């Protein structure tokens, strides 16, 4: 691949991924995640402590694998961080180290920014304000309560902890928080506003978020068999499982990355995003399809050039049907597709970043995971090339990662395999 800094279409600068890190229910580094993907081991668990919530039907969740924070994460440094912000900040720090930029003057120069999101802030902080409104008491509130509760708590804490002084895009758009973070970071660099960006999303596991989907009858209730759920695109699927995690990608101007001899994992080729403008919770296959086509148009690619699609794949009744039909309308039935959420549950704000990270790693490895628990594809879903039973060896130059969120927000990202 040549090192020309300007895109072939002349519309902006080329953008590459130079660092990646994250936390997920099946591992907190690529080696651990890949091992679980290859052996079809999911991270879904029975959440025993959720039994205390009367009326909550699901007892399934995807907690992040245990992790420890190093000494620099002092009590004082973390007083404004909930669990989600801690995961996001540490993932960002690890991604910067992976990119060779941790401690680099670029971080605090104003030429590096942040585009990062989550569905919400820390649930415990929200509860403290709820206690005030319901019980007329400020017990539990302190100077950091709002900072931990606000939807952009992760982006702000990343910036403060790491000393980032560029622009901050805070993306709080439910299931597209992470993918919009990557997309807006890409656009900030592409159009010369920043040289590099920390991009991604996070979410903390909470019974309150499980309850959101429970009220919509959209959660899995296979409570006695957590290893059998979720089941994206399967005829026996009974709903989603809520998970947690954080993912961070370092996006960088290609010329800047080459000049400093940075490791390059992939090139960001295209980003499409739109909104249904129709219904808050009901998926719209037509607008999903348009977002996918927008991503392809932005990348100047034809559908047949995409070698693999990372599906949103939540295992909800209508969501899987709509997504499969939108995907089939663009690609037909010949492009391999699988759903990472079958291993982790729906990590909400984190999913777009985690799934982009995993898709890039698989493209580099030439191997793509199967969808767990996909035993019999639902005939109501479109006939796609679902990777089932076991992973598939596959060499491809381009991969696509799609996400579709509450509010009718749709995203599509395209990455190109980097070859020096």
Other C-beta atoms within 10 Å of 178: how many? Answer: 40
- Predicted local distance difference test score (pLDDT) of residue 372: 98
pLDDT band at 338 (very low <50, low <70, confident <90, very high): very high
Instruction: Determine the pLDDT at residue 280.
Output: 86
* Residue 151: Cβ-neighbour burial (10 angstroms; 0-12, 13-18, 19+): middle
pLDDT at 420: 66
Whether residue 262 is predicted with pLDDT greater than 50 in this model: the reply is yes
pLDDT at 150 over 90: yes
Count Cβ atoms below 10 Å from residue 328 Cβ, excluding itself. 18
* Coil, strand or helix at 174: helix
Domain-wise residue ranges, the chain: 15-417
8 Å CB contact between 19 and 95:
yes
Task: Quote the Cα angle for 242-58-370, to 5°.
Answer: 45
Q: Reading across the β-sheet that carries 45-46, which strands appear in turn?
A: 45-46, 60-62, 242-243
Reported confidence tier of residue 406, pLDDT bands at 50, 70, 90: confident
Q: Which residues are catalytic?
A: 175, 312, 346
DSSP state at residue 65: P
Q: What is the mean pLDDT of residues 80-89?
A: 97
pLDDT at residue 1 is higher than 50: no
Phi then psi dihedrals of residue 53, to 5 deg? -95, 105
Q: Tell me the pLDDT tens digit for each residue of 202-258.
A: 999 999 999 999 999 999 999 999 999 999 999 999 999 999 999 999 999 999 999
Find out whether 20 and 198 touch, Cβ atoms under 8 Å. Answer: no
Structure-block tokens of residue 415:
């990455």
In a 13 Å sphere around the CA of 338, the CA atoms on its Cβ side amount to 28
**Is it the case that residue 332 has pLDDT exceeding 60?**
yes
Average pLDDT score over residue span 89-105: 98
Q: At what angle do helices 285-299 and 317-331 cross, to 10 degrees?
A: 40
Q: Which of 110-114, 119-123, 309-313, 361-365 has the lowest mean pLDDT?
A: 119-123
Bridge partners, 411 (sequence order): 273, 403
Q: In the CATH hierarchy, which fold is given to the domain comprising 15-417?
A: Peroxisomal Thiolase; Chain A, domain 1 (3.40.47)
């Amino acid at each position: 691949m040549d090192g020309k800094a300007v895109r072939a279409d002349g519309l902006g600068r080329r953008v590459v991924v130079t660092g990646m890190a994250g936390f997920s229910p099946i591992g907190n580094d690529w080696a651990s995640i890949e091992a679980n993907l290859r052996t079809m081991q999911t991270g879904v668990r029975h959440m025993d402590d959720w039994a205390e919530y009367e009326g909550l039907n699901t007892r399934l969740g995807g907690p992040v694998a245990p992790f420890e924070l190093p000494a620099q994460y002092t009590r004082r440094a973390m007083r404004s961080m909930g669990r989600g912000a801690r995961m996001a900040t540490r993932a960002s720090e690890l991604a910067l180290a992976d990119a060779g930029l941790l401690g680099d003057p670029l971080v605090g120069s104003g030429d590096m920014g942040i585009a990062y999101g989550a569905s919400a802030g820390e649930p415990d902080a929200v509860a403290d304000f709820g206690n005030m409104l319901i019980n007329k008491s400020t017990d539990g509130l302190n100077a950091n309560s709002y900072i931990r509760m606000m939807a952009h708590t992760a982006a702000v804490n990343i910036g403060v902890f790491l000393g980032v002084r560029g622009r901050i895009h805070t993306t709080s758009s439910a299931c597209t928080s992470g993918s919009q973070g990557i997309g807006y970071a890409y656009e900030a660099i592409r159009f010369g506003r920043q040289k590099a960006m920390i991009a991604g999303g996070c979410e903390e596991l909470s019974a309150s978020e499980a309850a959101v989907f429970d009220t919509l009858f959209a959660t899995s209730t296979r409570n006695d068999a957590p290893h059998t759920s979720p089941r994206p695109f399967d005829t026996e699927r009974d709903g989603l499982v809520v998970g947690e995690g954080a993912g961070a990608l370092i996006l960088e101007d290609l010329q800047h990355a080459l000049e400093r001899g940075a490791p390059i994992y992939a090139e960001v080729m295209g980003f499409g995003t739109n909104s249904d403008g129709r219904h808050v919770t009901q998926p719209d296959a037509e607008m999903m399809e348009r977002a996918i086509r927008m991503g392809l148009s932005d990348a100047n690619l034809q559908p047949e050039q995409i070698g693999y699609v990372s599906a949103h794949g939540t295992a909800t009744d209508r969501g899987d049907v709509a997504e499969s039909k939108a995907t089939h309308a663009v690609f037909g039935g010949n492009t391999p597709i699988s759903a990472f959420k079958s291993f982790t549950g729906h990590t909400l704000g984190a999913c777009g970043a985690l799934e982009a990270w995993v898709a890039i790693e698989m493209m580099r490895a030439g191997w793509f995971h199967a969808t767990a628990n996909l035993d019999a594809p639902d005939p109501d879903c479109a006939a796609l090339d679902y990777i089932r039973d076991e992973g598939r060896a596959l060499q491809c130059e381009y991969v696509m990662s799609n996400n579709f969120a509450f509010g009718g927000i749709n995203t599509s990202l395209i990455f190109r395999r980097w070859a020096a």
